[in-house]
Amino acid sequence: MKSGRFWPWFLASILIFDVLIGVTMIIAANSDPSFAVEEGYYDKAVDWDNQIAERRASEGLGWTSDVRIIPVEGRKGRVIITMTDEAGIAVEDAAVHVEMFPNRYSKHRQNVKLESEMGGVHVGDFEIHSAGEWEVRIRATRGDDTYVASHRAFIPSPGKEG
């Protein structure tokens, strides 16, 4: 090959290689199962002041919540939330909804309506996508009162204790 033809081919091969690397990175980025974007992130950002006001009002109620997640069978799980007010009295007859998801696969979000049981206990079933740490976002309403909280709960791998 003459030296005059080497450089155009060399430069073209570098450009083609660069394009192939770019395409490979795009495919890898779009096929990552752990990648997710917060749903409605723009609307949440615009509504940030209202969310802060809601959290402050929620904290003003003095309610507390405790979250337990129990694997039931196979890929089924049960979320159990116990809620009490500032006097330690059970919060009963509240409509409780949770949004929950595994942290490492946050696109697998589930919205679960919990059933109210005695003693401020609220229970609901969901599908376990993966073991590990989960985020549980609680929204409970009773009358004009709204309580919001976020908890982290750990689901152990089958056969292991967490």
Per residue of the chain (162 residues), what is the pLDDT tens digit? 566 788 889 999 999 999 999 999 988 888 877 777 777 888 888 888 988 888 999 899 999 999 999 888 888 899 999 999 999 899 988 999 999 999 888 888 899 999 988 888 999 999 998 888 999 999 999 999 999 999 999 988 765 554
As a CATH number, domain 41-155 is 2.60.40.3340
- HSE of 4, CA atoms in CB hemisphere, 13 A: 0
pTM: 0.74
For residue 129 the two structure tokens come to 């996508």
User: How remote is the C-alpha of 117 from its chain's centroid?
Assistant: 25
What contacts 38, CB < 8 A, 6 or more positions away? 44, 106
